[in-house]
Chain A
């Protein structure tokens, strides 16, 4: 049994067999073979070794000739590993005695050795584990060859272990079979985290070496509450897992009783509690958890996982599906937010040194007007089907908002001329996620219908912290007084102009910040499906008067630590069971 600690990004606990996606994305099947197949499988293994050896020797020659003998020698180790009698003996034993398929035997033995090397205190030695993985990959490539299994064809439930999950991979996942994610890299805002929360399954990211630590087929527990992954758990750990799982389910059940109760404060202030989604069918999960609308529909998936741009029909069908499911509840469609950490085949054209400050989001849309207009047309057409709101992300200055609105007006004119129906009163709002927009909120309030504060980016840009970078991640907190003050500026501008104020970032889904946001006058909380019920419970636990008091107090501190300590303490006092 081994335990790894990472970043908990989506709650819940799951146990299952693991599917490991290596960086080349093929999965290593845990397959047993029948006794009569043993000789043929051994021969298959031997053939793979010979092909890998030929490959390594060829590489050594080429590098030695092209670059120099000394560099060619780096392949000596791989050569020696491929001919290592102990290594091959162990692999053969697993095939002969345990009836492992060669792929699984190779992976098990080599990963076991790589793990041992990584455990050596000598840094130089532990780095040699990279050569061992390289050898594993070579052998697997020859063994699996063209018979790669894809994730779309899972036959039984599994936990996905990967370096990182790309949007196109998650889009192709068979969602009914995936129980949890564990990845080497990533943070709370990484794609894997967002998808896991949308799917309502546990996820732990930032585990660094989890793809090396786990072999396909290993039994794995993913604890998304504590950020732990337990590999091949012993009986005690499994028992503890069952207990935690039951506790989690009980809490879920308690929360489910809240589903049909309104999101209202103790003194009767109605709050809109909406969901954030990535796919139209996520609407179902939101409604099942009592959402009364969608405050953020991320449309990037329409652009990813395909070699071409989505057509107007692709957009329209997706929006229509969501609107049908919502049955009259509002749908807020955020226009394309590509760039930075989300790429399409188009964004390959940018080689940016600093993508988070680069051509992303609305900037990308305004530079690809054809693409943008296609989406705007589809949004407008969808508005004829049910209450629809358009939302522009990453607005930094008024010019961008005006340009976007002008393009929207163009598209409206076209539709009018063509006699295509749309809602002429469709609401148009902006995301406030750049400090400049927060500071200038009162000017923006004159030109749009609603604000939605995207706290993830707002915190990142205000504090200049990338929270997926673990050496500075601890500086990242929405509780920083500067962030609170920016949100207050936005809230005052919204109130003055009568513009609706929403928060759709993760801050809205964190129980400790709910009273502050209520106190500031936030009217819409838009959160991931998994946190809807929890946040409803929190909203129902405070009166507006208490919330304003707590908010006032929180503004008296000059450091994020004091703010977070204070709000954490209030949370624990008000809702002890939630913070247990």
Chain B
């Protein structure tokens, strides 16, 4: 299993829109995705669980991926987290 850690830098944290973006990105890969914050571990393809992580600015997420495309999946997800910002929209 591969993992990467990434800090949330956008002001509003992992709110609904970033959570949606994250889940949509994760769903483009076959790997199973888990996200850890503090002692919580949730399914990275569940927008509900991601929102309930309540990850604010400064929180560190540990993203795990398991599967054949784990490496590109992690890379893509870290990019998504780094580019969360209030005005960003996913690709049309």
Contact = CB atoms under 8 A, between A and B. Distances in A.
A73 B12 CA distance: 18
A80 B16 CA distance: 10
Contacts of A77: 16-17, 19-20, 47
A122 B13 contact: yes
B57 to A, nearest CB: 11
A73 B47 contact: no
B46 A124 contact: no
Contacts of A122: 13, 15, 54, 56
B51 A125 contact: yes
Nearest to B27: A83
Contacts of A113: 48, 52
B15 A84 contact: no
A86 to B, nearest CB: 4
20 contacts: A69-B89, A70-B89, A76-B20, A76-B24, A77-B16, A77-B20, A80-B23, A80-B24, A80-B47, A84-B23, A84-B46, A84-B49, A85-B46, A86-B42, A87-B48, A122-B56, A124-B12, A124-B15, A125-B16, A128-B51
A38 interface: no
Interface string B41-83: 0110111110110101000000000000000000000000000
Interface of A: 69-70, 73, 76-77, 80-81, 84-87, 113, 116-117, 120-122, 124-125, 128, 131-132
Given A120-B52, A122-B56, A81 B15 contact: no
Main secondary structure of the interface of A (DSSP, over half): helix
A81 B19 CA distance: 11
A60 to B, nearest CB: 12
A182 B46 CA distance: 33
Nearest to B56: A122
Most B CB within 10 A of own CB, among A80, A128, A131: A80
Contact of A117 (B13, B17, B51): B51
B40 to A, nearest CB: 12
A283 B5 CA distance: 72
A113 B46 CA distance: 12
Interface in B17-45: 17, 19-20, 23-24, 42-43, 45
Given A85-B45, A86-B42, A125-B54, 19 more contacts: A69-B89, A73-B89, A80-B23, A81-B47, A84-B23, A84-B46, A84-B48, A85-B43, A86-B48, A86-B49, A113-B48, A116-B52, A117-B52, A120-B54, A122-B13, A122-B56, A125-B15, A128-B15, A131-B16
Contacts of B20: 76-77, 80
A240 B77 CA distance: 52
Most A CB within 10 A of own CB, among B16, B49, B54: B16
A86 B51 contact: no
A69 B89 CA distance: 10
Nearest to B24: A80
Contacts of B56: 122
B44 to A, nearest CB: 10
Contacts of B13: 122
Contacts of A73: 17, 89
A63 to B, nearest CB: 14
Contacts of A132: 48
Contacts of B92: 69
Contact of A84 (B12, B47, B89): B47
B49 to A, nearest CB: 5
A262 B39 CA distance: 69
Contacts of A81: 47-48
Contacts of A80: 19-20, 23-24, 47
Nearest to B42: A86
Contacts of B17: 73, 76-77
A479 B12 CA distance: 48
B41 to A, nearest CB: 12
A128 B48 CA distance: 10
A86 B46 contact: yes
A131 B54 CA distance: 17
A86 B89 contact: no
A91 B91 CA distance: 31
B84 to A, nearest CB: 14
B67 to A, nearest CB: 15
Contacts of B24: 76, 80
B31 to A, nearest CB: 13
Contacts of B16: 77, 124-125, 128, 131
A445 to B, nearest CB: 64
A317 to B, nearest CB: 55
A69 B51 CA distance: 23
A87 B45 CA distance: 11
A394 B70 CA distance: 74
A87 B46 contact: yes
Contacts of B46: 84-87
Most A CB within 10 A of own CB, among B20, B47, B54, B90: B47
A541 B44 CA distance: 69
Contacts of A131: 16
A128 B15 CA distance: 9
A472 B17 CA distance: 37
Contacts of B15: 122, 124-125, 128
Contact of A86 (B43, B54, B90): B43
A299 to B, nearest CB: 49
Counting from the closest, the 4 A-B pairs by CB-CB distance are: A86-B46, A80-B47, A76-B20, A128-B16
A84 B48 CA distance: 7
A128 to B, nearest CB: 5
Nearest to B43: A86
Contacts of A70: 89
B2 to A, nearest CB: 21
Contacts of A124: 12, 15-16
A64 to B, nearest CB: 9
B27 to A, nearest CB: 8
A125 B92 CA distance: 24
A121 B54 CA distance: 9
B32 to A, nearest CB: 10
